[in-house]
């Protein structure tokens, strides 16, 4: 009798092990996709890394994993999800910093159209979470109030003139890392856009590109010189991710509907900031760029990356192309969010009694 009980126990353990192994592979794949999209998103002003994690269906996993690790709870599912996201996001940033920046500068309306679709693709994910809560007895009033707050916050952010910060001291680099990481976690808030507001977008991406080139050429001293940027920014990134992730987890546990409403409002409010029909314009004498009043000579020397943007009237072809690109971006995020079914996409963040490792 004891042998039969032992056989049953062993069989149960094997089945549980197989289930965990089967679940980890799709989770790791989805997390890797989300990490790549997150890394690319954080290179581009106007699109949020958190939005891309929502689109990939691993946002709840990311929030819970960070919260668990920072409270010294180490579960295999959380470590796999967090590790895949972190590694793939880091690789995407390192490899694509230069190309993505160039594409945005040289083909802005095409890239921004695609980014609008990718951003809007996160809306159905948040809406499904909110609708599920409403069916379980949640109140819609909090969702509406939260959405209004999120929209208002993004509208206020759009009124701030990019590049007003200027300078590049250690304190400002730390603040830039803190702000960028916070936006990395918050869907709808663009880390790249906040870096633009602080005047640190081009310097940080330029430092990443210089480091990659120096390492490729074996110039390790030149690469080490860029640590003056990476150390303060890195400290800000770590503190920002840890702080905001734990705050969101707490809010989603205690004020879930209003918090989901804020996230929904942030997503919708991010779209005007990446209106596609704008282009870089050569600055003129008397204009201020990143806190510096331009002369005729300095205006001619401003890098195209730093040119202010202005709206333009699109052609019929550009309007049609933009619509197609928006639809393509939206379809991509919806497709990504459906990979693997319930893994990540249906996870509850911080819910009592929920399996937060999903």
Measure the CA–CA gap between 194 and 272, rounded to whole angstroms. 15
Tell me, what's the pLDDT at 314? 93
327 and 14 in contact (C-beta within 8 Å)? Answer: no
Percent pLDDT > 90 in the chain is 6
201 and 195 in contact (C-beta within 8 Å)? Answer: yes
Q: What is the dihedral of CA 182, 187, 189, 192, to 10 degrees?
A: 80
Q: Which helix (H) or strand (E) holds 21?
A: helix 2-41
Task: Tell me what the pLDDT averaged over the chain comes to.
Answer: 74
118 and 330 in contact (C-beta within 8 Å)? Answer: yes
Tell me, what's the pLDDT at 162? 52
Return the number of other C-beta atoms located less than 10 Å from residue 231's C-beta.
14
Tell me, what's the pLDDT at 140? 66
Domain assignment of residue 265, given as a range: 10-277+313-338
Q: Check whether 225 has a pLDDT greater than 50.
A: yes
Percent pLDDT > 70 in the chain is 72
pLDDT tens-digit series, residues 61-80: 888 888 888 888 888 888 88
Does 344 map to a domain? Answer: no
Which residues are registered as beta bridge partners of 292? Answer: 289
Q: Which of 102-106, 264-268, 276-280 has the highest mean pLDDT?
A: 276-280
pLDDT tens-digit series, residues 164-222: 444 556 777 888 788 777 766 776 666 776 776 666 776 777 777 778 878 877 887 77
Count of the separate structural domains present in the chain: 1
Tell me, what's the pLDDT at 254? 82
Q: How confident is the model at residue 241 (pLDDT cuts 50, 70, 90)?
A: confident
| Token output for 130 | 């909110």
Greater confidence (334 vs 339) lies with: 334
pLDDT tens-digit series, residues 105-158: 788 889 888 878 877 877 876 777 777 655 555 566 778 888 888 888 777 766
117 and 327 in contact (C-beta within 8 Å)? Answer: yes
Greater confidence (88 vs 225) lies with: 88
Least confident of 1-10, 105-114, 230-239: 1-10
Tell me, what's the pLDDT at 206? 73
Does 210 map to a domain? Answer: yes
Tell me, what's the pLDDT at 291? 58
Tell me, what's the pLDDT at 103? 81
Q: Where are the alpha helices (DSSP H) in 186-283?
A: 191-197, 201-216, 220-225, 227-254, 256-270
CA 154 remoteness from chain centre: 15
Does 343 map to a domain? Answer: no
Q: Which helix (H) or strand (E) holds 280?
A: strand 278-280
pLDDT tens-digit series, residues 10-63: 444 444 443 444 467 788 888 888 888 888 777 766 567 777 777 677 877 888
pLDDT tens-digit series, residues 279-327: 888 888 777 766 567 777 777 777 776 777 788 999 999 999 999 999 9
Does 285 map to a domain? Answer: no
Does 302 map to a domain? Answer: no
| Token output for 64 | 């819970």
Backbone angles phi, psi at 286, to 5 degrees: 100, -20
Does 306 map to a domain? Answer: no
Measure the CA–CA gap between 303 and 248, rounded to whole angstroms. 38
Does 197 map to a domain? Answer: yes
Does 291 map to a domain? Answer: no
Tell me, what's the pLDDT at 326? 93
Q: How confident is the model at residue 339 (pLDDT cuts 50, 70, 90)?
A: low
Q: Which residue has the tokens 């689109």?
A: 55
């Amino acid at each position: 009798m004891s042998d039969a009980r032992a056989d049953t126990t062993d069989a149960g353990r094997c089945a549980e092990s197989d289930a965990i192994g089967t679940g980890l592979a799709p989770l790791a794949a989805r997390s890797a996709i989300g990490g790549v999209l997150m890394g690319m998103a954080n290179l581009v002003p106007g699109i949020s890394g958190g939005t891309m994690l929502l689109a990939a269906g691993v946002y709840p996993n990311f929030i819970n994993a960070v919260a668990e690790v920072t409270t010294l709870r180490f579960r295999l599912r959380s470590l796999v999800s967090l590790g895949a996201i972190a590694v793939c996001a880091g690789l995407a940033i390192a490899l694509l910093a230069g190309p993505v920046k160039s594409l945005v500068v040289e083909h802005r309306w095409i890239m921004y159209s695609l980014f609008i679709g990718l951003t809007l693709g996160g809306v159905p994910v948040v809406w499904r979470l909110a609708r599920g809560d409403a069916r379980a007895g949640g109140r819609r009033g909090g969702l509406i109030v939260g959405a209004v707050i999120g929209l208002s916050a993004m509208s206020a952010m759009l009124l701030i003139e990019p590049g007003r910060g200027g300078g590049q001291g250690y304190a400002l680099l730390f603040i830039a890392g803190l702000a960028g990481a916070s936006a990395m976690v918050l869907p709808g808030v663009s880390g790249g856009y906040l870096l633009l507001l602080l005047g640190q977008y081009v310097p940080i991406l330029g430092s990443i590109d210089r480091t990659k080139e120096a390492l490729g050429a074996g110039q390790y001293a030149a690469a080490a010189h860029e640590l003056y940027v990476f150390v303060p920014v890195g400290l800000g990134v770590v503190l920002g991710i840890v702080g905001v992730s734990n705050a969101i987890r707490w809010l989603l546990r205690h004020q879930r509907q209003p918090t989901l409403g804020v996230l929904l409002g942030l997503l919708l409010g991010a779209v005007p900031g990446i209106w596609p029909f704008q282009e870089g314009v050569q600055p003129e004498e008397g204009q201020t760029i990143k806190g510096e009043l331009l002369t005729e000579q300095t205006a001619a020397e401003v890098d195209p990356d730093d040119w202010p943007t202005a709206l333009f009237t699109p052609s019929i072809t550009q309007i049609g192309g933009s619509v197609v690109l928006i639809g393509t971006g939206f379809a991509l995020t919806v497709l990504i969010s459906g990979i693997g079914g319930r893994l990540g996409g249906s996870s509850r963040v911080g819910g009592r009694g929920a399996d937060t490792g999903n």
